Each structure stands twice: as C-alpha cells, then as structure tokens.
Amino acid sequence: MDATASVSNRFDAHTNALWLADIVTIALLIGFVVLIYVLEQFLTPQFGPTALAAAGIVMALIPALLWLWFFYRRDAAEPEPRGMVLGVFVLGALVAAAVGIPLVHSVFQVNAWMYANQPWSYVAAAILVIGFAQQFLVYASVRFSVFNSAEFDGPTDGIIYATAVGLGYATVLNVRFITGDGATSLTLAAIQIVLTTLALASFAGIVGYFLGREKHEKRPLWWMTGGLVVAAALNGLFLVLRGQLTGGTSSSTPANQWLSLALAATLAIGTALVLSWLIRRDVRLAMAADGVEEDEERTVGQTRSSTLLVVLVTMLALGAGWLLGANALDRTRPITQSGITLDVPASWLALPGADNVLLAANNIRRPQQRVSVRALPAADSPSGAAAVDVLNRARGMNSFRVLEQGMVEMDGVPVYRVHYAYVTAPLNAKPSVIEGVDYYMVVNGQLLVASFEDSSESFADSLSTFERMAATLRVADPGA
C-alpha cells in the first residue's frame, strides 16, 4: 500500500469516527433543549436567586462543553493538550466577566442607545462595539497566551484554542442572560444558549483560523486584521438577526422569536460547517505532510506589526461606535402631557396617563424601561410625601423594597430620592426584578414625583439616561 493510500485510509477512518461523534453531540444538544421544555411545561419550576444562578451555570456549561468536544475531536493529526484547551476556556470566561461585559455595557452603555429608533443604531452597536470588542478579546486571549507555545504547531491549532476562548466567553454571557431578565421562557432560553454558544465559538474560530495561518505561513500585513473584521462583522450580523426581529424585547410575537432564532441558527451553523471543512482539510494536509518542508513562517517583527494593525483597527471601530452612540444618546424629543414637559430619547413612546400620572413614556424596544411623572397631595416636605407614598406602594406590592433614600441635589435643586426594587411575575413567564428611582420635588408650588424603572440587570447602565431626562422636566406656570 502506497503512502497516499495510507493517508487516505487514516483520514477516512477519522472522518467516520467524527460522523458518529457529531450525531451523538447533536442528539445530546437536542435532548438538552427537550429536557428543559419538559421541565418547564410539566414541573413549572420556580427559582430563587441562588437556585437560578446554579441553573444558569448548568444551562450555560452543558452546550459549551458539548460544542468544545465537537470542535476538539476534529484535530486528529496532533490533538492539543486538554489542560491548555481548558485553560484558554477559563481565560475566555474571565476576560468576558472582567473586561468584555463591563466594556460593552458600562463604558459604551450600548443598552442606552442601541435600541434607538435609527436604522443604524442596532447595527453600529452590534458590529462596531459588541462584535469588535468580543472578537478582539478572543484574539488577544490567544495571541498573548498560547500563540508562542510549542504546542501551537499547526494552523488548525488556532481554531481549537480560539474556539475554546469563545466558548468560555459565551458561557459567561449565557449565565448573565439566564440570571438577568432576558429569559422569559426557559425553552427559548435553552435554544438561544445553544445558538449563542455555537455562534461565538464559530466566530472565534474564524479569528483562530487567521491566527494559525498568521503564525505558520507568511501572510500579508493585513491578513490578521482582515480576519478580525470578518469575525466581528459576522458576530454583529448574528446579533442583529437574533435580536432585531424580536425588537430586543420579550414582548415580540412567538413567530418573530422563532424566525429570528432560525436566521441566527443558519448563520451560526453555516459558519461552523465552514470551520469544520477547514479543519478537515488541514488534518488531511497534516497527515499527508510526513516530513515535507513547511512554509516559511513570519518573523517576530512582522507578527508585531500585524498585532499593532489589529489593535489600531479595533480602536478605530470602537471609536466610531462611541461617536455613533453619543449621537444616538443626544437625540431627544419633548413630550408634553397635562402641563408637564419632558425631553425623552427620540425612540421612546408617550403613554396615556392614569389616575395621578401626569406624563408617562417608555422605550418601545424595552417596555420595562419607563419614566413617569405623578402629582401627589400637598405635604409638609418632599421627604414626608415620600414616606406616605412608599408606605402605600408597599401595601400594594408585597415584594416592594426600599434600597436607599435621602436628600440629593439635581441641577442645584434639592430633591428627595428613593431607590427601590420589586419582583414582577407575568403569567407563564420567569419572574424578574425591577429597580426604580423616585425623585420627589416641589415645582411651581406643585408636589411631583419623577420615576424611572428598568430591569435590575440594566438599571445601573440606563440610570444616566433618566438623570438627563429628569434635568429637562418643565412644568407650565398656572398663572401664565
């Protein structure tokens, strides 16, 4: 038997083994979703904070480990040390928790502007901020950890290590999704977790593919930067397909949710199949090499220049995202009801008043984010009015709790501030925690309370939006 036939036989045997492993992996993932569906439909589980966190970790880890096995088994020519693969998996999780999530949600505050009613805002946030931030962190995690290791000895290794980083990153995002207010249905959450995990693994794998070629072949200076741009664009497109059709809210129709998931799944699975084909091609070439001289590798100086170009392009993308976000945040429109005027984000919708509510508006893409202005009976002081108001609300909601309260200044005007929280439990939906803040003030002799509420997960990030709105509060002079 000649060498070519031997290579072909070994490759065919490896491919046949992969088919069986792939079928088992897909079956386990489908079984995971079915199990969650059964638990939700027949047991209707109710989770406390600790149990919900534990369930979130389990639901996030199972798909991540299965997809990790899916990709890891493809590197048959010279499998990477499992300890190193698991190490970069943990590194991806740490980078997501310590850098990625704070950067996207606290520094760039994407939740405050990506849902603005401009066609470009969602795409800009998804690609320029989230896509580039996530994929650059994947790149940096591999480039500055295992890239120079002797174990990183083939182009396919880049895909394996970067995929592991992406899976670690996705695990943290999914835990955050489950424990926050994003999961209105555990079944939909399970499907989204499976897809998000596959998507981030696949897009990270693209970064890894370009990194592997970067190390072992002499490529143009723009090579790695081009790979990062492709991965960031696909990452952003996935977010748009998954979230734009649903409006980024839990209020969208089931049909839209399923359509969104189907389109996102097509992109994620298509990318995974391309990566799988690339790995199989490299495995065949590696099996056939057997002593053949390798291609010329890049010099240290060339690799450093490539790294600097990647950093520069990432900074430019994030800078553009910052400018677009600032522009979206600056777009406001006045709403006037019952003599009260408030400047709200341009995408927000005015709501009809009720009882003592003089003005109300909410974010049409995130209905739980809302603002209102109420009139209260005359009282000796804003603090006294707040005490009575808080007592009445506590009587009406058993879960209502005051987190902190006290006098503060708003644009030099003393107001009484109450920070509170309560639990809402819609029918057939997961309970969620709502945080809010009330500002009690006297304006033109009238006692008013300006209120803002949002999900506990994003309240801190969006509070600055309310503070800007509250500063624009105007009351018509009754004697004018």
* Across 66-75, 91-100, 303-312, least confident range: 66-75
pLDDT at 428: 47
Q: Name the range with the highest mean pLDDT among 48-52, 113-117, 206-210.
A: 206-210
249: pLDDT strictly greater than 50: no
Q: How far apart are CA 257 and CA 259, in angstroms?
A: 6
pLDDT at 60: 82
Q: Name the range with the highest mean pLDDT among 124-138, 288-302, 347-361, 434-448.
A: 124-138
Q: How confident is the model at residue 251 (pLDDT cuts 50, 70, 90)?
A: very low
Q: Name the range with the highest mean pLDDT among 43-47, 162-166, 187-191, 267-271.
A: 162-166
103: pLDDT strictly greater than 90: yes
36: pLDDT strictly greater than 70: yes
Q: How far apart are the first and last CA of the chain?
A: 101
Contacts with 51 (C-beta within 8 Å, 6 or more apart), sequence order: none
Q: What is the pLDDT of residues 297-333, one digit of tens each?
A: 566 777 889 999 999 999 999 999 998 888 877 778 8
The CATH number of the structural domain formed by 332-475 is 3.40.1000.10
Can you spell out the DSSP letters for 90-107? HHHHHHIIIIIHHIIIII
Secondary structure E strands in 186-324: none
Higher pLDDT, 363 or 21: 363
Indicate the domain borders of the chain.
Answer: 3-330, 332-475
Average pLDDT over residues 43-61: 71
374: pLDDT strictly greater than 80: yes
Average pLDDT over residues 252-271: 66
- CB atoms < 10 A from the CB of 391, how many? 11
pLDDT at 117: 57
Short-list 103, 102, 216, CA closest to 157:
216
44: pLDDT strictly greater than 90: no
The mean pLDDT of the chain is: 80
Short-list 369, 382, 446, CA closest to 418:
382
pLDDT at 453: 93
Q: What is the pLDDT of residues 166-200, one digit of tens each?
A: 999 999 998 888 776 555 567 777 877 888 888 89
Residue type, 51: A
pLDDT at 282: 66
Whole-Å CA distances, 62 to 19, 55, 57, 65, 310: 20, 11, 9, 5, 33
Can you spell out the DSSP letters for 318-370? HHHHHHHHHHHHH-EEEEEETTEEEEEETTEEEE---TTEEEEEEETTEEEEE
pLDDT at 368: 82
Tokens of 93: 């999780």
Average pLDDT over residues 142-153: 89
Average pLDDT over residues 236-261: 61
Query: Nearest-5° angle of CA 455, CA 456, CA 460?
Result: 100
Contacts with 348 (C-beta within 8 Å, 6 or more apart), sequence order: 335, 361, 362, 363, 364, 371
The overall pTM is greater than 0.75: no
478: pLDDT strictly greater than 80: no
Tokens of 95: 């980078």
Average pLDDT over residues 245-271: 60
240: pLDDT strictly greater than 80: yes
Tokens of 60: 């996030």
132: pLDDT strictly greater than 80: yes
Q: What is the pLDDT of residues 433-459, one digit of tens each?
A: 899 999 998 888 788 999 999 988 888
Q: What is the pLDDT of residues 414-423, one digit of tens each?
A: 889 999 999 8
Long-range contact set of residues 234-237: C-beta below 8 Å, sequence gap at least 24: 234/131, 234/203, 234/206, 234/267, 234/271, 235/126, 235/127, 235/130, 235/131, 235/134, 235/135, 235/199, 235/200, 235/203, 236/123, 236/126, 236/127, 236/128, 236/130, 236/131, 237/126, 237/127, 237/267
Short-list 178, 192, 191, 190, CA closest to 47:
178
Average pLDDT over residues 338-363: 84
How many residues are present in the chain? 480
Q: How far apart are CA 447 and CA 381, in angstroms?
A: 9
Tokens of 260: 């969104």
